[in-house]
Amino acid sequence: MEALPGTAGNLWDNGANDLVDGLASERGTIITGTGGPEGIDASTIANDFVLPSGAAIQEIRVCLFHDGTSAELYIYNDAGGSPALPVTAPLFGAPTTADVVSSTFSDETARCRLTAGFRPGREYTFNLSTTGVAFPSLPPGRYWLAVVAIGGSRGFWATSDLNAPPQAQASLSAQIGSTFFGFPYWTPIVEAGA
């Protein structure tokens, strides 16, 4: 759900990334795990967003520091400030609905800049044409977006530039879950050292 501020229909925008790797959100990399929505993630990051009124989502764009070529998306209901459990039952995304996988991305965009390390800033685009799956219409409320990098050596969420101007519905309350790293689903990122 990233778009330039002021874009008509933009629901949520956390701003440009800060050039620093966030926490890992990955599967099928040099490490393996048994967690996440489909039981195969090394770790999963989710970030909340608020819809003041209902919305028919058309496209979601997410910045990852990732040298693989695909990512998978999930949307969870809110359960008192965390994504709803069980982790294997997202509102949208496998295994509840069809797999929502995109291999459509742009590297080093204005919103998803190059990391200071060796992974490109890769902005993945999720919509009907890139995933083959129609997005749900959501009623007003708080939801959680999880995107997991697939393949490559590692995959990390890009964190927002806290010095950027405030963005519409920006959120800094991401949560992580990882059987590999020992974080229960769901643990606030501040408790995970981010």
- Read off the pTM: 0.86
pLDDT at 168: 40
Residue 154 has pLDDT above 90, yes or no: no
Mean pLDDT of the chain: 83
Beta strands in the chain (DSSP E): 17-24, 26-27, 44-51, 55-56, 59-66, 70-77, 101-102, 105-107, 121-127, 137-138, 141-150, 155-160, 175-178, 183-188
